[in-house]
Amino acid sequence: MTTQTAQAAQAAKDERPLLSVQDLKIRIQMENGVMHAVDGVDFEIKKGKTLGLVGESGCGKSLTSRAIIGINPKECETTGTIGYDSADAADSELNLLSLDPKGKRIRSIRGRKIAMIFQEPMTAFSPMYTIGNQIMEAIRTHRTKNKKEAKKIALEMLGKVGISDQEKRFDQYPHEFSGGMRQRAMISMALSCNPELLIADEPTTALDVTIQAQVLELMQSLQREFGMAILLVTHDLGIIAEMCDEVAVMYLGKIVEQAPVKELFYNPKHPYTKGLLKSMPRLGGEKSVRLDSIEGSVPMPIDMPPMCGFYERCKDRIEGVCNVNAVPKTDISDQHTVRCFLYTDRPEGESP
C-alpha cells in the first residue's frame, strides 16, 4: 500500500462516526400492553464531538444511553443496531447490541472505551467503600493490576477534576463528599481509563448553578485534553447551547428533530422544539411577560396507533393527517432532519 493510499484510508476511517445508532427500539411489556419506550431512534456521534440528547423526563433518553453499554433492565426488549468504530482495530465496526451484555467483550469496552456519568451523584457510589477504592477498581479492571500504579492514576484524576488534598479525600467515604465533589469524583472515575466516548446522563442534576458551571467547564477541558466524544443527555437547553455541536430532540421515544446546535436554536422546525425554546427564560426580557408553556401532558406510549405523538399538544396539527399516519423523517438540509407533517405530506413508508 502506498503512502497516499494509506493516508486516504486513514482519513476515511477518521471521517466515520465513532457511534452510529440505527432504528433503536426498546419495548417493555406492561400489564396493560406493550410500552414503546424508544421507537426507531437514529443518530451518530463523530470522534471528538458532542451530541446533546434533549427532551422531557420519560421520553426515553436514559434508556437510549444505557442501551449503548447494555445496562438496561432485562425487561427491556431491545432491537436495532448500535455501531461502534473504535480506534482499536480489535473493537472496530462492532454492533454493540449483538454482544452478550454480561460477556467479556462488552465488559472490556464498558468503562474502558465507553464510560458513563450516571444521573444521580448521591447514589452512584457505594456507601460501603471509599471513593479512592471505587476509582481504583475501574483502573485495576481496565488499565493496570498494580495497586501502587492504580492509586497514582486515581490521585492524578482527582487532581484533574479540581479536588484538593487528594490523599485525604482518597480515603474518605461518599457521605463525606458534598454533591458537587461527588459529581467531580464520578467524572474522575469515568475518565480514569481515557475513554473514547463519555455518556453524561444529566451530569449537573441536583447541583447549584455555580457548581453546574464548574462541572461543565471541567468536562469541556477534559474533552479537549483527551479528545473524547460526548453524548450529553439533559432536559436543559441552556446546557445544550453551551456544550454541544449537534442536538437531537426526543419526544415520546422518537427523535423529532436533529440539527447542528446553532441551526436548531435559530431555525427550529418541529412545534415541540419551538415550544421548548419559547419556554426558556431570556436575559433582558420583560418581567411582566409570562414564559410560554406546552399545554397538555405526554401520553403513555402503550400500544399507540400510527400517529404523531405530539398531536394532542400541537397548535399546528392537521386534522385527518397527524392523527391517522405515522410521521416520516424529512430532510430540511444535509444536517437538519425533522418528523412533522408540516414539511411532508407522505405517511411513513409510503413511496415518494
Q: Residue 149: which H helix or E strand, with range?
A: helix 147-160
- The reported pLDDT for the residue numbered 121 is 66
Query: Could you list the mean pLDDT of each consecutive 10-residue stretch along the chain, which spans 352 residues?
Result: 50 75 94 91 95 90 94 93 86 88 90 87 83 92 91 91 90 90 87 90 78 82 89 90 94 95 94 88 65 79 88 90 89 93 66 40
- The reported pLDDT for the residue numbered 152 is 93
How far is Cα 13 from Cα 6, in angstroms, rounded to an integer?
A: 11
- The secondary structure of the chain, three-state, reads CCHHHHHHHHHHHHHCCCEEEEEEEEEEEECCEEEEEEEEEEEEECCCCEEEEECCCCCCHHHHHHHHCCCCCCCEEEEEEEEECCCCHHHCCEEHHHCCCCCHHHHHHECCCEEEECCCCCCCCCCCCCHHHHHHHHHHHHCCCCHHHHHHHHHHHHHHCCCCCHHHHHCCCHHHCCHHHHHHHHHHHHHCCCCCEEEEECCCCCCCHHHHHHHHHHHHHHHHHHCCEEEEEECCHHHHHHHCCEEEEEECCEEEEEEEHHHHHHCCCCHHHHHHHHCCCCCCCCCCCCCCCCCCCCCCCECCCCCCCCHHHCCCCCCCCCCCCCCCCEECCCCCEECCCCCCCCCCCCCC
How far is Cα 28 from Cα 312, in angstroms, rounded to an integer?
A: 24
pTM greater than 0.75: yes
Cα torsion 206, 111, 73, 127: sign: negative
How far is Cα 231 from Cα 254, in angstroms, rounded to an integer?
A: 17
Residue with cell 492509586: 151
- The reported pLDDT for the residue numbered 7 is 44
Q: Let me know: does 191 contact 162? Beta carbons within 8 Å.
A: no
